[in-house]
Structure 1
Amino acid sequence: MNRGGAETLIMNLYRNMDRSKIQFDFLTCKEGVFDSEIMEMGGQIHRIPYITEVGHVAYLKQLNQFFEENAGYTIVHSHMDKMSGLVLRAAEKANISVRIAHSHNTQSEGGLASKVYKWYVGTNIKSSATHLFACSKAAAQWLFKEQSNETFILKNGIECNKFKFSSNVRNQIREELKLDKNSLIIGHVGRFNHQKNHLFLLEVFSQLTKTIPDAKLLLAGGGILQSNIEEKIKELHLEEKVKILGVREDIHLLLQAFDAFVFPSFHEGLPVTLIEAQGAGLPCIISDVITKEVDMGVGLVQYLPLNDKNEWVKTMLKVTSSSSSRKVSEERLSQKGYNVRKTAEFIQKSYMEMGGTVS
């Protein structure tokens, strides 16, 4: 349970539940930054080794054993995209009555063998899931195919009031990060993996610095490609201009320091970080493969193809030079379905109608 799109949504829902009526427990593989908060809110964290550590057969054995020993759950809500097929099949074997598959993406990661394997285990979803959820229509179509019209779209809502722009917070965060308060700051929040396309972002930023030499790029996140990203920074001689901030728990504050949010992903379901960025009033420059559902219609989102770096630079210069009040109302977020308090009320009601303890 580290900070990521699905994890952030789950925590946003958890924080806004009436936990005297609904309690979340978690089945994960490794320790995460949200673990202490989960336990403080009364949740239990169970762990089994992930499939890449023990292999297919041993992973299935661990899953089956877990659900046999914890058969008291009435609802299992799996956020593992195609891998949910294995989780929900094990839950079905243990006679757990409500089994939710939740799609958060529009493409599998990994090489050909990995994608074939995920396709194979994903075929279990159709027979094992009792309910289908997705963060967007595109994510529903990818994972559930002909069943996509049966899918409930649960939008990746945020705690709107946390993201309201404050110039005082902006200056404070910039001071803490040792940034000039007048420098142009480009920001990105996301895991350091292939999907997020950091190398493209670094190349675009390198071109930007030829026009604005004192511009800075802040990268919040961590992951398996961090060393590749660090090598690219050195190759482009950007050591003094790019800051890697690691996995942060204060993204709502960090966004205040940015002047623009750049997000050139190869694929996405519906990234919660883009909702957060718009909630902070930030101009967002994003790849045109990302669903149009992410645009809240307040004039902050620009879609661009990934085949023209010059166009990305021009757009960054354009949006950061235009004046913006950085104000996006909570009412607007609610109208578009991105107020997590409203989302939590709905999902709590749905869970209670399904009945039982939620895992």
Structure 2
Amino acid sequence: MHSQPIHVMHVMGGMTGGGIESVVLNYCRHMDPRRVVFDFLVHDHSPVLPVRDMTIHGGRIFTVPSYDRYPVQYLRECERIFRREHPDIVHAHMNAWNVLSLGMAHVAGVPIRVAHSHTTSNATGSARSMIKSLITKPWSRSHATHYAACTAQAASWLFGAHHLSQVFLMRNAVEPGRFAFDAHARKTVRRELGLTDGQLHIGHVGRFSYPKNHPFILDVFADLLRCRPDAHLTLVGEQNDVDVPALIRERNLERHVTVVGFRNDVSAYYSAFDALLFPSHYEGFGMVGVEAQANGLPVLMSSNISMDADLVPGLVKHLPLEADVTLWSQTLEKLAYDHVGNRDDAAYAATVAERGYGIQANAESLMQWYESLLVT
């Protein structure tokens, strides 16, 4: 053990309550502060800034202008902070855009610079985003001394398959017990939503952005209503670049869909759902699906999501996005029906941990990796 804790500055971009932030904060909560302390470099005006979780072990928060709106100021502030704070490691989580902060860390003399890939595609699917990704992706390894990724697929997308042996796999691990089914929470949330005991309740968790595919979610749900007019859909997530309320109005679904925004008690919503609809265009790793499986909640995913996220046998099904929405809605209804009454079992959470996605073991692995970087 080092005489002083290793200070790792995590470069996060804008904090919006998304999956990447959830992963990093989960690791942060499970660090041994005698060994590793997380600091955070985030965009100012971030809409969701969980200060308590970010500073739980003495970590600090540094803010910089958005690189998208103020690129010169962003670079200047990154360099200034890195020079002043002298972090042992800078660990960047902005996929193809890691080159910006890691370049400034290099200039500032930070010896260990980690580029992390959390995705398998570009950020929004828009032409503008694709062009930016094409420009920055070839430089993704520039200024990085080490690489990390959530899966081999995410590593291959950003760094190339021939670099896989050099990549540390930092799994999107969870605290399984935190997401275990809670019968009381189920009753409470369903009562708040005005749902009856037997009413079919479909859920989705994810920020309102292109990758999550909200138009398709609503189309599948609208088709489900034809045979299950009592069904209800609840969308949990922070507003981003997709106007979900407008999509709901366009489909005349206002009476059947509830938008609850970002929630800290998402595990209670998993307990209240009967099935999770998760038809993403792409995911680095479907962390929401893992949380749902720890809850015993059946999940219908798109085939674009890696089957590495299928941890509990029989609880997850995949369909291609090209399939008819009726096939999706029928499969979703059957998946929910097949698992009615089978949720109250701690074995689901235990299985997630046994399959290697428990946070305690993964946090220890990450601390050992950071320690090894300083030795070498």
Corresponding residue to 1:338 among 351, 357, 364: 357
The alpha-carbon deviation at position 297 of structure 1 amounts to 4.2
Q: Deviations over 1:50-97 (max 9, x none)?
A: 12221x333322222222222x21111111100111111111111211
Superposed counterparts of 1:67-216, under 5 Å: 67-70=82-85, 72-110=86-124, 111-145=126-160, 146-216=162-232
Aligned-partner Cα distance in 2 for 1:219–1:225: 15
Query: Does the 8 A contact of 2:286 with 2:306 survive in 1?
Result: no
What whole-Å deviation, never above 9, does each CA across 1:128-181 have from its counterpart, x for those lacking one? 111111111111110011313321222111111111112222112212333222
Whether 1:251 and 2:251 are equivalent positions in the alignment is no
* In 2, Cα distance between equivalents of 1:113 and 1:19: 41
What is the alpha-carbon distance in structure 1 between the residues aligned to residue 233 and residue 213 of structure 2? 15
Give me the TM-score of the superposition, normalised by structure 1: 0.93
1:276 is aligned to 2:322: no
Equivalent-residue separation in structure 2 for 1:117 and 1:207 (angstroms): 36
Residues of 2 paired with 1:230 and 1:180: CA distance? 24
CA contact (8 A) 1:86 1:124 kept: no
Letter in 2 for 1:337: G
Q: Do the aligned residues in 2 keep the contact of 1:88 with 1:125 (CA within 8 Å)? A: no
**Distance of 1:94 and 1:276 partners within structure 2:** 39
Q: Is 1:299 matched with 2:314?
A: yes
**2:239 corresponds to which residue?**
223
2:355 maps to amino acid: K
Distance 1:61 1:119, change over 3 A: farther
- Give the letter aligned to residue 95 of structure 1: G
Q: AA paired with 2:369?
A: S
Moved more, 113-122 or 96-105: 113-122
**Alpha-carbon separation, structure 1, partners of 2:183 and 2:334:** 21
Amino acid at match of 1:270: F
Kindly tell me: are residues 233 and 114 of structure 1, through their superposed partners in 2, closer, same or farther at Cα, counting changes over 3 Å? closer
Q: Which runs of 5+ in 2 are unaligned?
A: 1-14
Query: Cα–Cα, structure 1 residues 95 and 225, in superposed 2: closer, same or farther, change >3 Å?
Result: closer
Distance 1:120 1:65, change over 3 A: farther
What does 1:258-269 correspond to in 2, within 5 Å? Answer: 258-269=273-284
Task: Give the gaps of 5 or more residues in structure 1.
Answer: none
2:325 paired with 1:309: yes
Relative distance call for 1:123 and 1:303 in structure 2 (3 A) is same
Matched position secondary structure for 2:140: helix
Task: Verify the 8 A CA contact 2:118 2:154 in the aligned structure 1.
Answer: yes
Q: CA deviation at 1:40?
A: 4.2
Q: Secondary structure at the match of 1:244?
A: strand
Deviations 1:168-199 (A, max 9, x none): 22112212333222211000000101111101
Secondary structure at 2:300 match in 1: strand
The amino acid that maps onto 2:57 is M
Q: Which residue of 2 aligns with 1:354?
A: 373
Q: Distance in 1 between matches of 2:57 and 2:225?
A: 45
**CA distance in 1 between partners of 2:197 and 2:93 (Å):** 40
Cα pair 1:217 1:241 within 8 Å, conserved: yes
Question: Is contact 1:134–1:152 with CA below 8 Å preserved after alignment?
Answer: yes
**Does 2:57 correspond to 1:41?**
yes
Contact 1:2/1:34 (<8 A) preserved: no
Give per-residue Cα distances to partners, 1:99-152, cap 9 Å, x unaligned.
111111011124334323333333333231111111111111100113133212
Q: Which has the higher contact order (CA 8 A, sep 6+)?
A: 1
* Aligned-partner residue type, residue 140 of structure 1: A
In the alignment, residue 13 of structure 1 is paired with which amino acid?
Answer: Y
**Segment drifting more, 279-288 vs 333-342:** 333-342
| 189-198 or 60-69, larger mean C-alpha shift | 60-69
Note closer, same or farther for the CA distance 1:33–1:60 as it changes in structure 2 (3 Å cut). closer
Among candidates 14, 28, 34, match of residue 14 of structure 1: 28
1:62 aligned residue: 77
